[in-house]
Structure 1
Amino acid sequence: MQTRVLVAKPGLDGHDRGAKIVARALRDAGFEVIFTGIRQKVDDIVAIALQEDVAVVGLSILSGAHVALTARTVEALRAAGADDIAVIVGGTIPAADVPKLKEAGAAAVFPTGTPLDDLVTEIRVLTGAPA
């Protein structure tokens, strides 16, 4: 069975090229990927994650609201009893915000420019997915 990953675009950010590239890289690496499309509400992302029984929720955020959106997503997953779902974050993220995202509950952070191979490897480690 393939490891399932949800790639989501929370908030008002309408740019999805990076998220689609990540989704394709994960799919090509053997993950089953569900892509939400743009402008998703946190509650809808959590509902999809639960319905699709994913191991990882990947948030792609370019809007600058990455800390707040990550914290809200982690809190909503915990409230739904799904704290076993790892939340990872990628996008335009200043280095100074990486510790803030991890404190908010992000299992991993991938700023713009992270090599796709590194992202795939990190998600395999997080989920125990085979190489």
Structure 2
Amino acid sequence: MKKYYFKEKFFKITDHYPILDEDGKKTFFVDQTFKFLGYEAKVSDAHDKELFTINRKLLSFLPIYYISFSDKSKKDMTIRSNLAFFKKSIDILMEDGKINLKGNFWDYEFKMFYKGRWSTLG
């Protein structure tokens, strides 16, 4: 399993930052654009080719994000947080099914459920 690292500014209007692999190599870049309402970020590879866009739904009780891939052969998906106490529960909705991540909020250790099977992440 690969690990990636990034540093994001807390107070910002726009932002551009790299995502580094385990060796410190710049693998991806994130560009956040200024919006009065909502959130939008574009993720590109090391060669500045846009891979996907992330948009946050404006009016929702819990965060909902829409992922749109630049490569139209890949289907778009939705990421939705679920209400859970002292745990984290996230649904990833895709055309061919749903992945549910459930895990320990403090340790960031998660179990992934897909089509009735699970595996551990973290």
**TM bracket (short chain):** 0.3 to 0.5
TM-score of the two chains, using structure 2 as the length reference: 0.34
Give the number of the structure whose alpha-carbon radius of gyration is greater.
Answer: 2
Structure with bigger strand share is 2
TM-score of the two chains, using structure 1 as the length reference: 0.32
Q: Larger relative CO (CA 8 A, sep 6+): 1 or 2?
A: 1
